[in-house]
Amino acid sequence: MVPAHAVSFVAACYTRLFSGLLLAAVLEYILENGASGGTITTFGQALWWGAATVTRVANQLYPVTTGGEIVAFLLMVYAIVVSYQKPGGQVY
């Protein structure tokens, strides 16, 4: 049997990660849509890009604007911090 506090901690981590992913995808879509030479032209592509970025999977979608690259960097750092948290909010 899994303790209740472990389940709530995992749920909180996934909620934080998904919220950050969704926010990054919206920002990436706004910044990259219509950019010259951009590969992210739809919100679905932005969401796919975000999921690939968080899971560190190779992807053919990438930001071409400075703002998009900043969002990508912040999403990567955010995903690392969220994945290395332990119960109580401390980082390993």
Q: Which domain holds residue 73?
A: 20-83
Cα separation, 66 vs 7, in Å, equals: 38
pLDDT in tens, 22-47: 999 999 999 999 899 999 999 999 99
How many other CB atoms are there within 10 angstroms of residue 17's CB atom? Answer: 15
Mean pLDDT of the chain: 86
Q: How many domains does the chain have?
A: 1
- The model's pTM is 0.80
Q: What are phi and psi of 85, to 5 degrees?
A: -80, 150
What CATH number should be reported for the domain holding residue 65? 1.10.287.70
What is residue 55's predicted lDDT score, i.e. its pLDDT? Answer: 85
Tell whether 45 is covered by a domain. Answer: yes
